[in-house]
Amino acid sequence: MDDFILSPAQLEHELQVGRFKTTDEVITHTIQDWVQYLLDEGFEGSYFQVKIVGPDLTIINTSRTAVATLHSQGESYVADYQTDARDTLLQLQQVLREMISNHQIDI
């Protein structure tokens, strides 16, 4: 998980490289990558895509159907991450593990 917690220097580096235009884009991409990693690990393959729009994180299956939507604790997942990156990632991990264990997300 530590690879997904970016320091201010890492955020600045991502912007300088030019891959992203704003810090919010870097954070959004980082959170999406974290959730993607958890889903790929939980299902032993890449069966889902993750998309963050505003306060919602949507999980989409291979048929391009939304199978789950998670809501941020605060204003948005970006704001939550800026407040406490580790806690935001841990909360997402816990929610996803429960959803996978309870078959609320399934392939």
pLDDT digits (tens, 9 = 90+) for 21-56: 999 999 999 999 999 999 999 998 999 999 999 999
pLDDT score of 1:
78
Q: Which sign does the torsion angle of CA 42, 44, 47, 52 carry? A: positive
Backbone Cα Rg of the chain: 14
Q: Which of 53, 48, 46 is nearest to 70 (CA)?
A: 53
DSSP count for the chain of H helices, then E strands: 4, 3
Phi, psi of 86 (to 5 degrees): -60, -45
pLDDT of residue 106 exceeding 90: no
- Whether residue 18 is predicted with pLDDT greater than 90 in this model: the reply is no
pLDDT at 96: 95
Rounded to whole angstroms, the Cα distance separating 91 from 94 reads 5
Residue 107 reports pLDDT greater than 80: no
